[in-house]
Amino acid sequence: MRVLIYSLVILFFAADYLYADIKRPDTIREVFFTGTNHELEVYKIYGRQDGPTMLIVGGIQGDEPGGFLSADSYTEIKLEKGNLIVIPRTNFYSILLFNREVKGVDMNRLFDKTPDDWQGDIVNKIKEYMKESDIFLNLHDGWGFHYPEHISWHKSPDRFGYSVIVDEEEYTCSNGKTLKLGEIAKKAMDAANAKIPDDDPKKHYFNTETSKSSSRFKSMRKSATWYAVSDLCIPAFGIEGSKNMKLDKNVLYHNYVINEFMKNAGIEIEYPNTHTYEPEFTGAVIKVHNDELFIRSGKVLEVEKGSTIKVTEIFANHKRGKTCDIVDFGNLNDINKDYKVEKDSKIIFRKDNVVMGSITIKAVEPVKQAASVEDTPHKDIEIPVKELERVKLSSEESGISLEPYIKYFHLTIDNKDVYIKSGDKIHIKNGSKVVFVKLLSSKVQDYNLAINFKGWFPADNSVNTGDDRGYEIIFPPANILKKYSVGSKGRLYPVVAYDTAVKQDIAEMLVELD
């Protein structure tokens, strides 16, 4: 009994020590790996009253803006009751590159065997925050729309997009506790669907049956949600938007689902915020020696050779996700780094993966004059895409060998792979079923760029984003506008790959109809 009393006293004082500094309400921002490409921001939000804690993770795969922008919108909310831990840009490096992976590694497949590198460091941080949480939501954007029955390539059981995902209907932990994952997910999803207008798609329930030998999705055993469920006995859910839905709706409908999960968990919100507007860069504060200069976007900063400069603050219409990249120096995230000017250069400013603007650095010979700012023509530079090994396509797969420095459009025509060089034309017969898959080259396997079949739009025009990858189009297309055709016959239409980073088409082919 004496030992028990002593133990309780120790626990009481330990808890008092651990939580002594928590104010209510309050928001605490923690930053890890500062100044690197993988800088990690974590927001701990404490409600006016204590209660359950929810962990919200976004951006673990960087080409899913609906997920990380939705998570970002919860960093500024106030809570009446309960607590949030929000990691809006979990894999900031992949967001800057706008790629699912960094150097071929998918961070959401590292939770079974965590590597000893920077990605493993982030995964271990997430695991620590899971242990502080009562429920975990992992936010994503998938392709198409998940449907229980196959309707088309775009709407089928194989698509992850626009769903609420559980790893099992129910899961019994080693301590005997049963997590009713399906029941929790369906309750939140149904309430969110009731708020979605009838002319927009509704979200669907998706059970990957991760632990079963018959599961078609065994790779989920390496995911964050499965780790939370199987190792920590925490209810965890994947919330998927769709890359084929307009971004503002994507974020809004993500938030509908999150809010319902929070309500059902006993966490009460005061207000959320949504940020989907176009990033606009105003300027930056650059320290030259001991002087701080405000330089506007598109201007030139003349600096004597040998001088050290440092970007100390970035002004834009968004508060988070802002970086500066001094070309040929450091990495993609160079804010607050000392840079010695030896030659002309440029500073590129981004919000997540989007280039907002730039400032030119002009190195001048030492003279007795103050640094000046002058107008200069502004040119965006291309963000490098992920470089991979040469794409290996056997003759059975492609019938061609990819030429160096040439971009190819990958299509399927009647379920057969076809590769068309940028600048070429292809004739497609009536009755053919065509899917635009992606753009690739001998060095880059997947540019992950929007492919737009000019003039064509899906039957459900509410989800037309200008990205026509993944749709099954039966020729001649029913929904096509002849004003986009090349020439007067209305038979020739361009297909372009558009790079949002440089805001221009980087490849084009022509489709000729029968």
Final residue of a domain: which of 323, 355, 375?
A: 375
Residues 53 and 91 in one domain: yes
Q: What's the confidence (pLDDT) of residue 17?
A: 42
Q: CA 152, CA 463: separation in Å to the nearest integer?
A: 15
Is the model's pLDDT at 488 over the cut of 70?
no
Which residue carries 């459900």 as its tokens? 460
Q: CA 185, CA 236: separation in Å to the nearest integer?
A: 9
Residues 461 and 496 in one domain: yes
Residues 260 and 299 in one domain: no
Comparing C-alpha atoms, which of 448, 441, 444 is closest to residue 387?
444
Residue 393 lies in a domain: no
Is the model's pLDDT at 212 over the cut of 90?
yes
CA 343 to each of CA 327, 335, 338, 348, 363: distance values in angstroms, whole numbers, following the listed order: 11, 19, 15, 16, 5
Average pLDDT (246-268) is 95
**What is the number of domains present in the chain?**
3
Is the model's pLDDT at 209 over the cut of 90?
yes
Q: CA 478, CA 453: separation in Å to the nearest integer?
A: 13
Which residue carries 């970002």 as its tokens? 72
Mean pLDDT of the chain: 86
Residues 351 and 468 in one domain: no
Strand boundaries in 184-321, DSSP class E: 204-207, 236-242, 268-271, 281-288, 291-296, 299-304, 308-316
Mean pLDDT lowest for which of 294-308, 318-332, 337-351, 492-506?
492-506
Residue 380 lies in a domain: no
What are the DSSP calls for 211-236, one per residue? Answer: TSTT-S-GGGGGSHHHHHHHHH---E
Cβ-contact 349, 315 below 8 angstroms: no
Residues 223 and 246 in one domain: yes
Range of the domain at 479: 407-513
Average pLDDT (394-412) is 69
At position 69, the amino acid (one-letter code) is L
User: Which pair of tokens denotes residue 50?
Assistant: 């204590």
Residue 87 lies in a domain: yes
- Residue 92 region, left (φ>0) first, then alpha (ψ -120 to 50), else beta? alpha
Q: What's the confidence (pLDDT) of residue 442?
A: 78
* Cβ atoms within 10 Å of 396's Cβ, excluding its own: 7
Residue 99 lies in a domain: yes
Final residue of a domain: which of 271, 296, 324?
A: 271
Sign of the Cα torsion 246, 251, 256, 257 reads positive
Q: CA 181, CA 302: separation in Å to the nearest integer?
A: 60
Place 273 in a pLDDT band, splitting at 50, 70 and 90. Answer: low
Contacts of 89 (CB under 8 A, 6+ apart): 40, 41, 58, 59, 68, 71, 72, 95, 320, 321, 352
Q: CA 415, CA 7: separation in Å to the nearest integer?
A: 67
Residues 287 and 262 in one domain: no
Residue 383 lies in a domain: no
Residues 302 and 237 in one domain: no
DSSP H/E element including 70 = helix 65-72
Residues 427 and 335 in one domain: no
Helix axes 65-72, 247-265, angle to 10 degrees: 50
Residue 401 lies in a domain: no
Condensed to tens digits (0 to 9), the pLDDT of residues 22-63 reads 788 899 999 999 999 999 999 999 999 999 999 999 999 999
Final residue of a domain: which of 246, 271, 296?
A: 271
Q: What's the confidence (pLDDT) of residue 14?
A: 45
Quick one: how far is CA 330 from the chain centroid?
23
Which residue carries 């992976």 as its tokens? 101
In three-state form (DSSP H/G/I as H, E/B as E, the rest C), the secondary structure along 17-63 is HHCCCCCCCEEEEEEECCCCCCCEEEEEEECCEEEEEEEEECCCCCC
User: Which pair of tokens denotes residue 107?
Assistant: 């961070």
Residues 314 and 450 in one domain: no
Cβ-contact 254, 66 below 8 angstroms: yes
Condensed to tens digits (0 to 9), the pLDDT of residues 180-200 reads 999 999 999 999 999 999 999
Q: CA 404, CA 441: separation in Å to the nearest integer?
A: 7
- Torsion, Cα 109 115 118 122, to 10 degrees, reads 50
Q: What's the confidence (pLDDT) of residue 250?
A: 93
Peptide bond into 404 cis (omega under 30): no
Q: What's the confidence (pLDDT) of residue 9?
A: 42
User: Which pair of tokens denotes residue 137?
Assistant: 């939501």
Residues 361 and 411 in one domain: no
Residue 86 lies in a domain: yes
Q: CA 45, CA 48: separation in Å to the nearest integer?
A: 10
Mean pLDDT lowest for which of 66-70, 164-168, 307-311, 378-382?
378-382
Comparing C-alpha atoms, which of 197, 199, 222 is closest to residue 211?
222
Three-state DSSP state, 123: helix
Q: CA 249, CA 132: separation in Å to the nearest integer?
A: 31
Check which CATH number belongs to the domain holding 75 and give it.
3.40.630.10
Cβ-contact 479, 458 below 8 angstroms: yes
Q: What's the confidence (pLDDT) of residue 490?
A: 78
Residue 386 lies in a domain: no
What share of the chain in percent tops pLDDT 70? 86
Q: What's the confidence (pLDDT) of residue 395?
A: 33
Three-state DSSP state, 296: strand
Residues 364 and 453 in one domain: no
Residues 76 and 25 in one domain: yes
Quick one: how far is CA 421 from the chain centroid?
29
Condensed to tens digits (0 to 9), the pLDDT of residues 298-340 reads 999 999 999 999 999 999 888 889 999 999 999 999 999 999 9
Cβ-contact 193, 199 below 8 angstroms: no
Burial class of residue 170 in the structure, from the number of CB atoms within 10 Å of its CB (0-12 exposed, 13-18 middle, 19+ buried): exposed
Check which CATH number belongs to the domain holding 289 and give it.
2.60.40
DSSP H/E element including 438 = strand 433-441
